[in-house]
Structure formats: structure tokens, C-alpha cells
Amino acid sequence: MNCFARITGTGSYLPAKAVTNHDLENTVDTSDQWIRERTGIAVRHIASDDETTCDLAEQAARRAMEAAGKTAADIDLIIVATTTPDKIFPSTACLLQARLDVHGCAAFDIQAVCTGFVYALGVADKFIRGGGAKCALVVGAETLSRIVDWTYRTTCVLFGDGAGAAILEASDEPGILSSHLHADGEYEKLLHVPGGVSRKPGPLEGDPGFIQMKGNEVFRMAVNTLGRIVDETLEANGLEKSDIDWLVPHQANIRIISATAKKLAMPMERVVVTVDQHGNTSAASVPLALDTAVRDGRIQRGETLLLEAFGGGFTWGSVLLKF
């Protein structure tokens, strides 16, 4: 009997504090029109000073567990995708495990920045197909506001905080059909945070603890790379573009999303777009979009979904699944 990893519940969470484009007009040289036209973003949510990545992850995780009808006793694998962990160690996954009163199962973080949730789904799928887990909690959670220079208009308009989660269960019904994960570290300096634990970068322009990005280069790479991942995914599954019911992309920039939809010859009505409501939340953005479309009834059981993302590293990847 075939064993598939099937999503049985989703959840998401956004912090209460919202920062609009008009709010940013008061702090940096920008405008609501400029931000909307170039990114599609209208608002982003910011964690409060006492709110951590694990706090956000816990809210999303509990909602996903409730949707799937699962308790702590059912969870036998926890993977958290994040680039903004609460601590150097232990992992945010271990912290979340304690919050949820789950004991004994494997729990670890994945760091693939914006592609993190897609990576995490791919890893959880392998665990379940290989018999190493039966019920996995997969979370993407970020507090990117902690590493954004709010005086630098190029990046401060783009990023926000949030979390999304999914429960994956072993099933004899098709679930995740394939995952395709890639990276190329040659391009690290186009989108990175220079500072680190073991590396002291020395004199640099700007704070080494903040996101630094060469936007035009990142945009071109993202569009080209995501176009290739679409072809790779369809070819691997013997599918045509018309076989995809929904595109659930990384929510970074409406122009990148539109370009990927064009590659699929997919009308924007079949693309889940939430970037306007939360900006780029890195590893949280794909599960945030997925949960939104599940809960508002757009995504229905039995439909075919293509999830894709591109992030710092560079990393990129896709997951094709039957919902």
C-alpha cells in the first residue's frame, strides 16, 4: 500500500499591530502608491516587544491542530521553518514542543529563509513516506521586524511578522505528490544578513544585523528561477499547466507572483494572493496564504495545488499536492 503525507489541517496567525504604507510615509521617504505599485503590499504586521517567533508559531500550530482534530498526543514530528529563532539554541521547534506539551518526538528547525516552509514540507513528507512519522506538525514562523532597518526604505516596506502551520498525516490517499528543493550559495550577498554567531564581519555599510538586499538582481533571479521550478514540477509529474487548480506562491512581491502565474498560463483568480495584507513574512508566507484560502473556502478537497518559493541563499523549491 502506498503511503502519502496528506495535509489534514492548517492554521495561521498575524500579530495584532499593523503598520500601513501611510504609517511608513511618516518615517521614510516613500508613498503608499509607490509601495503598492512595486510590491502589492498595503500593510504588514509587527510582533510586540514581548512577542517571539515561538509565540506566533504556537498560535498557528494550535489552530492547525484544531482544524485537523489532533491533540498533543498525536504529534510525532515537529519541524519549524524560521530564520528568526527565539534563541541560538535550543531550536524554536523544541520550544514549541514544550509549549504544546508534546514529549519525545523529533523536533528541529529548518533554515531556508523564504523557502523554509516548502523545505519543511519536503522533509516531513520523506519522514512519513519512510515510516518515521505518522502525524507531523510543520510550521513557518518569523519575526523579521527584528532584523529590518526601519530607517532604510528599500527593505522596511517589504517585511512583516507572522506564522502559518499545517498538520501532515500518513494516508493511503494521495497528498504530497512531489517536492523539489534547490539552493545555490553563490548568490548569498544579493540577499543576506551579514552578521552571525561565528563570523564577525568587520566594517560594513549599515548594521550587520539587518537584512541587506540588491532588489533588482533578486527580482530577476526569482522570476527566472520560479519559472524553471514550474517546468520541473510539471514534468516530474507528467502534468500539463491546466492540471493545476491553485498556485500558492511565496508572498514577496505581486510582480513576481504575476510572472509565475503567467508561466503557468493561470489566471490570477486561481492564484492565492495575501501579500497585500502581511507583506513578505519569509517562511510564514506560503502557509499563511494556504490557510487563508482553505478557511475562506476557495481551496477544496481533491484539488491540485502548486506551492513554490524563492529566498535568500539563494534557495528555491516547490511542492505539488492533492489537498
Residue of 54, 94, 114, 135 with catalytic role: 114
What's the CA gap between 205 and 198, in Å, rounded?
20
CA-based nearest residue to 112, from 141, 83, 148: 83
- The residue length of the chain stands at 323
How do beta strands 176-183 and 161-171 pair? unpaired
Q: Is 260 left (phi over 0), alpha (psi -120 to 50) or beta?
A: alpha
> Does 280 participate in catalysis according to the annotation?
yes
Quick check: helix, strand or coil at residue 150?
coil
For the chain, how far is it from start to end, CA to CA, in angstroms? 20
> Does 192 participate in catalysis according to the annotation?
no
* Cα-based distances in Å from 259 to 9, 189, 224: 29, 24, 9
Amino acid identity of residue 287, one-letter, is: P
CA-based nearest residue to 74, from 172, 167, 163: 167
Quick check: helix, strand or coil at residue 10?
strand
What's the CA gap between 111 and 109, in Å, rounded?
7
Contacts of 98 (CB under 8 A, 6+ apart): none
H-run or E-run covering 63? helix 53-68
Buried b (16+ CB within 10 A) or exposed e, 96-132: bbeebebeeeebbbbbbbbbbbbbbbbbbbebbbeee
Residue of 45, 180, 182, 250 with catalytic role: 250
Q: Which residues are catalytic?
A: 114, 250, 280
